[in-house]
């Protein structure tokens, strides 16, 4: 662009505009993350000789995975997986039964401030703690076995289901609710005829989705003694029976995929 000075000059190069526009913020993010990662990696205390040993170990572990031990002589794998599935189902049902009143209470437009805050704090606590921590305590309270897993997963379901129910109620159409209210309906009739039909399709979809999540969790709560396949998985790893581990992993993956597709299909059909 140097041949003429009388014409306006156009840029002959183009650079992609940066994602973060302000250069100060951009560079402080770059430098900040560099410093953070340097510090984080420095404090990680990775034992590199142990990691180097890990490569052949990983390969031998993988080679022991095949062929998976499918004969399952003691019948414990089938039993454990069925226990996980039933636990997931009953925990979803129990969780939803607990979630409905809490979700109604946590919707800002249905209740007063105190009920709202109380229900919101239940949801907050249940959302914060992972299902495994809930399961550790459930095992302490209710003893070993699937009942503890059922309680843990039910409580975990509240944080998910009640929160989304409350948000859905808060976003509902007000005119329908008012229309039912002016007919002189009682509070329960109002909930049943004005609110339930508006939120029901989404809630059915969400409960299927939660069933899916609950199965994934019910496969591991056994690690802390709360029933299901997790206990056998842990035992098989500790006994170096990796062919059994492989069988259990394959079973879990297949069931999760099957559940995901079924629940996706059902959700499309319901909505």
Partner 1 sequence: MPIIETNEGPLWKRRTSTRQWLIWIGWLIGICIAAYAWKLISDKTIWFFVQDAPRQMVDIATRMWPPSFDYMDKLWGPVWDTLNIATIGTVIAMVLAIPIAFLAARNTTPHKLVRAVALFIIVATRSVNSLIWALLLVVIVGPGVLAGTIAIGFRSIGGCSKLLYEAIEEINPVQVEAIESTGASRAQQMLYGILPQILPTIAGVGVFRWDINVRGSTILGIVGAGGIGVQLNASINVLAWTQVSMILLVILGTVFISEYVSAKIRHAII
Give least dist CB 2 to partner 1, A.
24
- Interface residues toward partner 1, by CB under 8 A: 16, 19, 36-37, 40-41, 43-47, 50-51, 53-54, 57-58, 61, 82-83, 86-87, 89-90, 93, 124-125, 128-130, 132-133, 136-137, 140-143, 145-147, 150, 216-217, 219-220, 223-224, 227, 233-234, 237, 245, 249, 252-253, 256-257, 260
The answer to whether the CB of 210 falls within 8 A of the CB of 157 is yes
Structure tokens at 41: 């990696």
Give least dist CB 257 to partner 1, A.
6
Structure tokens at 95: 């969780």
DSSP string, 75-127: SHHHHHHHHHHHHHHHHHHHHHHHHHHHHHHT-TTTS-HHHHHHHHHHHHHHH
Q: Of 54, 56, 61, which Cα lies nearest the Cα of 243?
A: 61
Q: Which is nearer to partner 1, 111 or 129 (CB)?
A: 129
Q: Which is nearer to partner 1, 58 or 101 (CB)?
A: 58
Give least dist CB 119 to partner 1, A.
17
Structure tokens at 42: 């420095």
Residues sharing a CB contact under 8 Å with residue 257, sequence separation 6 or more, in sequence order: none
Give least dist CB 4 to partner 1, A.
25
Give least dist CB 247 to partner 1, A.
13
Q: How far is CA 104 from the centre of its chain?
A: 22
Q: Which is nearer to partner 1, 111 or 185 (CB)?
A: 185
129 phi and psi angles, rounded to 5 deg: -85, 130
Q: Which is nearer to partner 1, 31 or 133 (CB)?
A: 133
DSSP string, 14-61: --PPPSS--HHHHHHHHHHHHHHHHHHHHHT---HHHHHHHHHHHHHH
Q: Which is nearer to partner 1, 70 or 82 (CB)?
A: 82
Q: Which is nearer to partner 1, 115 or 249 (CB)?
A: 249
Give least dist CB 11 to partner 1, A.
16
């Amino acid at each position: 662009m140097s041949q003429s000075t009388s014409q306006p000059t156009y840029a002959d190069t183009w650079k992609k505009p940066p994602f973060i526009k302000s250069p100060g913020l951009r560079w402080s993010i770059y430098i900040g993350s560099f410093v953070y990662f340097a510090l984080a990696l420095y404090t990680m205390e990775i034992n590199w000789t142990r990691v180097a040993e890990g490569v052949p170990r990983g390969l031998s572990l993988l080679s022991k995975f095949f062929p998976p031990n499918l004969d399952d002589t003691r019948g414990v794998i089938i039993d454990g997986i069925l226990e996980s599935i039933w636990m997931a189902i009953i925990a979803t049902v129990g969780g939803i039964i607990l979630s409905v009143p809490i979700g109604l209470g946590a919707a800002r437009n249905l209740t007063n401030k105190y009920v709202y805050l109380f229900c919101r704090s239940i949801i907050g606590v249940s959302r914060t703690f992972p299902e495994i921590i809930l399961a550790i305590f459930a095992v302490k309270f209710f003893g070993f076995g699937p009942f503890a897993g059922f309680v843990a997963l039910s409580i975990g379901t509240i944080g998910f289901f009640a929160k989304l129910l409350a948000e859905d109620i808060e976003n509902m159409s007000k005119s329908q609710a008012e229309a039912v209210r002016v007919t002189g309906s009682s509070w329960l009739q109002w909930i049943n005829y004005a609110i339930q039909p508006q939120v029901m399709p989404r809630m059915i979809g969400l409960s299927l989705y939660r069933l899916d999540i609950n199965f994934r969790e019910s496969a591991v709560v056994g690690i802390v003694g709360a029933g299901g396949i997790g206990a056998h998985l842990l035992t098989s790893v500790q006994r170096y029976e990796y062919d059994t581990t492989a069988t259990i992993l394959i079973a879990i993956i297949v069931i999760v995929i099957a559940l995901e597709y079924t629940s996706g299909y059902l959700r499309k059909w319901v909505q």
